[in-house]
Structure 1
């Protein structure tokens, strides 16, 4: 294959990548492009205009006239179109379309069932890193977070893997040995689109699942109970300096 270079400045126009998002709708079939555009315009309610360009296989380019609109769309996500998840990512200068990977999506995850003494920012960070890429823990203070009876964590989730359902918490004092049944702690996902109740993955339902058999899926533990309404924002949160990644299944944990 021959080597070839394109000279800079011959036909380029202004780089608008910073005002663009590229997204993929995780639907089992190609959706009507005009219907998608209508739904998105209605849902986003941007101050300035947004140009929507359909590419292929439910992939779209979104060009914003206002950067604040773009930031708000990312912050208020995830978004669903016809019950299917829309995975968004910034368009980077020099990006090649064949290299696009729609793998990570931010969710607000509520952590229910923790003892009151465990409702702290530090425990929220620990749990968030187990869920995926920790973005922030909603918190007003360093101590107990008693504004709610659950933790609320913003985390980027690897949507190619099954959703995590929660964990069993064993409390151990110094010198004690783990034992007993433990406490069941459950994850509930805000704005969770349709997903497979058999395998726990987003992007298909049980009728099209290729990961587990129908018999295996009967006792999977997945279901609509993993969805929850969007909690009112407390207006303050903590963003960690590092964002390590870690994905685990239902597990036994101690704090």
Structure 2
């Protein structure tokens, strides 16, 4: 470790280096391992992680939108499309999975509006293995029940605090069981309600 949670990894061959950089993103003990080529003058005490490559899922996206060109347009506000997994070859069609470089300094996009000639619709964006992603505001670092946006309490004239609770959403009804990877869960594995 060279400081500030940064590590220096030296590869014995260019082939191994290329393979590790190409085949990410990587998870180690449930945490993302962000690999970045070394740059002269790098200072781990001043460096900030501003982006991460992450797999996203787009359950329910019409198959006619599965071309790389269409995905780049659809995901332009989510991040830069880096690669597609084998769903694009139609070998697995339950959901589409795309590796995207997301900006960590902005809230994550949780829903993408889609408009066709027939109807207006939206597609949920699920970020794989991001368990501290708030489903209320799109920011990382807190759960939905801790969200400052959901806790907009108002004081009345008597000094009492009026707490407005949001309607609970049952994610089991909204998302098929095979597509719940992006739903935040508690340590006990129960699905959180908003």
TM-score interval (norm. to shorter) = 0.5 to 0.7
Could you tell me how far 1:66 is from its partner in structure 2? Answer: 2.5
TM-score for both structures, normalised by structure 2: 0.62
- Counterpart of 1:195? 132
Q: Indicate the SS of the match to 1:184.
A: strand
| 1:225 to 2:180 alignment | yes
Identify if the C-alpha distance between structure 1 residues 91 and 218 changes in structure 2 by more than 3 Å, giving closer, same or farther.
farther
Which whole-Å CA distance do the structure 1 matches of 2:101 and 2:51 have between them?
Answer: 6
1:14-71 deviation digits (Å, cap 9, x = unpaired): xxxxxxxxxxxxxxxxxxxxxxxxxxxxxxxxxxxxxxxx122322222222333333
Specify which of 106, 109, 113 is matched with residue 161 of structure 1: 106
Which whole-Å CA distance do the structure 2 matches of 1:129 and 1:196 have between them?
Answer: 20
Could you tell me how far 1:78 is from its partner in structure 2? Answer: 2.6
Contact 1:167-1:185 within 8 A present in 2 as well: yes
1:80-116 deviation digits (Å, cap 9, x = unpaired): 4443333321111343445523111112222221223
Q: Indicate the SS of the match to 2:7.
A: strand
**Structure of greater Rg:** 1
Identify if the C-alpha distance between structure 1 residues 218 and 195 changes in structure 2 by more than 3 Å, giving closer, same or farther.
farther
1:145-193 deviation digits (Å, cap 9, x = unpaired): 64425433222111232222221312137xxxxxx6x223122334x24
Residues 1-255 of structure 1: pairs in structure 2 closer than 5 A: 54-138=1-85, 146-147=90-91, 148=93, 150-172=95-117, 182-190=120-128, 192-197=129-134, 199-202=137-140, 204-206=141-143, 212-213=148-149, 215=151, 225-227=180-182
The count of aligned residue pairs is 161
- Counterpart of 2:188? none
TM-score for both structures, normalised by structure 1: 0.49
Q: Which runs of 5+ in 2 are unaligned?
A: 153-164, 172-178, 184-194
How large is the RMSD of aligned CA atoms in angstroms? 3.8
